[in-house]
Amino acid sequence: MGVLDVVPAGVLTGDNVRKLFEYAKEQQFAIPAINVTSSSTANAVLEAARDIKAPIILQVSQGGSAYFAGKGLANDRQQASILGAIAAAHHIRTVAKEYGVPVVLHSDHCAHKLLPWFDGMLKADEEYFQRHGEALFSSHMLDLSEESKEDNIATCVQYFKRMAPLGLWLEMEIGITGGEEDGVDNTGVDNSKLYTQPEDIFDVYSALSAVSPNFSIAAAFGNVHGVYKPGNVKLHPELLQKHQVYAEEKLNGKKKPLFLVFHGGSGSTKEEIKTAVTNGVVKMNVDTDTQFAYLAGIRNFVQNKSGYLQTQVGNPEGADKPNKKYYDPRVWVREGEKTLSARVKEACADLGNVDRL
Ligand SMILES: O=C(CO)COP(=O)(O)O
Ligand SMILES: O=C[C@H](O)COP(=O)(O)O
Ligand SMILES: [Zn+2]
Ligand SMILES: [Zn+2]
């Protein structure tokens, strides 16, 4: 029995998203969510998943979406982010099945000021649903963690009521991920906010489960976006167990009732990742490490082939030798795709997500 006995290949929607996460939680593995910004990065992530027979999550941030549409487009009303997210979704939908793996198509952090982006994606989901009977995306994240708990939960409930009939999964954040996300600077935030309390998580669970079971919680356990020299904020994935136990007691023993999400996966140790998965993390976001991996192949190529990249004609093999085979983007960008793919495979291995189909 494997993932393909539970859900089909291609982009998952509706209850299939929950079935995948339920299966992962039962089998004690998690799926990495990789931020993609182009067809090149998306394809490289899908290729990695195909090679190691694993389900995968591809996500677009607000900035990544704008990049997907083109940095030359105005984005003052989130119009480029909306278009780019839709373009990314259509690209991924078009190719995903061919890679033969189940894919969760997700949008990343959406803070209050970015809600017009969310509204635009939701409108696209509704239109797609009208035509195809399913939403365009598998899931979306709302990140109202900067607001009061009451406002955060109330706004999530309001959106979730609109999402549930479309079968959309909601990921919400409570407690704050440190570092920086989409221009929201959380570097100086109060330390206590970086560790969510079990009571707050259960308040979220109670409010959202009244609408639909299809949601997950990004609880803070010292997570930070980006990779920095070790500082005073420490990752404590063992705290997640307290949240599960607290919810279990409130729900009369229902085992590990929470679907938890691990933000700021980059730079985490194998041990931290393992502990998080044991405690019900089903999704781990990785962006910074995969960005660096994408660069590595291109950087190495440019360094190693320097003599072939200075002029269109003429290289160390002769003054009349053409260099087209070196400066063609399909050659040097491909090198980045290979190193990105390798880093995605490593994330999958860390999470126990290998040979799962
Ligand atoms: O949480 C993330 C995206 O939401 C990714 O964080 P990292 O860039 O630290 O991996
Ligand atoms: O929020 C974290 C993700 O890494 C997205 O980052 P980004 O806004 O730079 O695309
Ligand atoms: Zn946040
Ligand atoms: Zn994040």
**More confident position, 280 or 179:** 280
Identify the band that residue 172 occupies on the pLDDT scale cut at 50, 70 and 90.
very high
Query: Could you give the ipTM of this predicted complex?
Result: 0.98
Name the closest ligand to CA 196: 3
Please write the tens of the pLDDT for every residue from 78-107: 999 999 999 999 999 999 999 999 999 999
Q: How far apart (Å, rounded) are the C-alpha atoms in residues 231 and 69?
A: 36
Q: How far apart (Å, rounded) are the C-alpha atoms in residues 206 and 223?
A: 24
pTM score over 0.80: yes
CB 123 within 8 A of CB 38: no
Query: Of all helices (H) and strands (E), which one includes residue 257?
Result: none
51 in catalytic set = no
Pocket test for ligand 1, best of 263, 290, 295 (most atoms within 8 A of CB): 263
Query: Of all helices (H) and strands (E), which one includes residue 92?
Result: helix 79-99
Kindly report the CATH class assigned to 3-351: alpha beta
The CA 108 to ligand 4 mean position distance, Å, reads 7
Closest to 189 (Cα-Cα) out of 180, 200, 178, 198: 178
What single-letter amino acid sits at 93? Answer: R
Domain boundaries, the chain: 3-351
Tell me if residue 109 falls in helix, strand or coil.
Answer: coil
